[in-house]
Amino acid sequence: MGKRGAAGRRDTDTPGPRRGRIRAEPVSAGGSDARATAAGGTATGGTATGGSATGGPAAAERDAVAPQRRAAVVAAVVVCAGLSVALVLLGLAVVPTLLGGGAPPRVGEVSASADGAFARFDWDDPGLAEGDRYLVTVDDGEQRVQDGTGFVVDGVPGSRLCVTVQVERGDELSAAGEPSCVEIPAGVD
């Protein structure tokens, strides 16, 4: 084991350079700081600048990039929030229709034609949900509930026959469109 010397330092039995010694180097008030200049900075008047003494170029670059990253994160959060709101609104509009809820769709144009004393009315499916049906109302007050997109009725020769078609969903009816009319030719049976 080593002995303590006069200055309180530990001497070792190992010849050669002493290991584990720490040396403090004094820095003069007007001199240069070797550590600051080695790290890329300068030392003037006892104050080190640049290099690792103030964070160095890497810290300056990091400090310059931080606001850009923050702005990118904020922009990403705003975009995600906007998409979330859009998806919720879309879901509120589409899901009830798919599940049979919401207001029933309106029937578009109804075509009308006469074949002898018969009047035929046809329309396109406006996108019925399961359980939806059509309510066909003839101008004389007769009503018929049906599943198909066509309706045939006997007419009186020489008369005009009109119908309106609505979608029935549960207890709700779609808005009625304009009546579709056809002239039944006179002198046909």
Vertex 104: Cα angle to 149 and 109 (nearest 5): 45
Same domain, 119 and 175: yes
Which residue is it, tokens 């002198």?
187
The reported pTM is: 0.48
Show pLDDT as tens, one digit a residue, over the chain (189 residues).
555 555 555 555 555 555 555 555 555 554 444 444 444 545 454 444 444 445 666 666 767 777 788 888 888 899 988 888 888 777 766 665 555 568 999 999 999 999 988 999 999 999 999 999 999 999 988 999 999 999 999 988 999 999 999 999 999 999 998 999 999 998 776
Instruction: Tell me whether residue 24 is in a domain.
Output: no
Residues 38 and 77 in one domain: yes
The residue from 66, 99, 132 where one domain ends is 99
Q: For the chain, how many structural domains are there in total?
A: 2
> Whole domain around residue 79: which residue ranges?
30-99
Cα distance between residue 183 and residue 115, in whole Å: 10
Q: What is the rounded distance in angstroms from the CA atom of residue 93 to the CA atom of residue 186?
A: 49
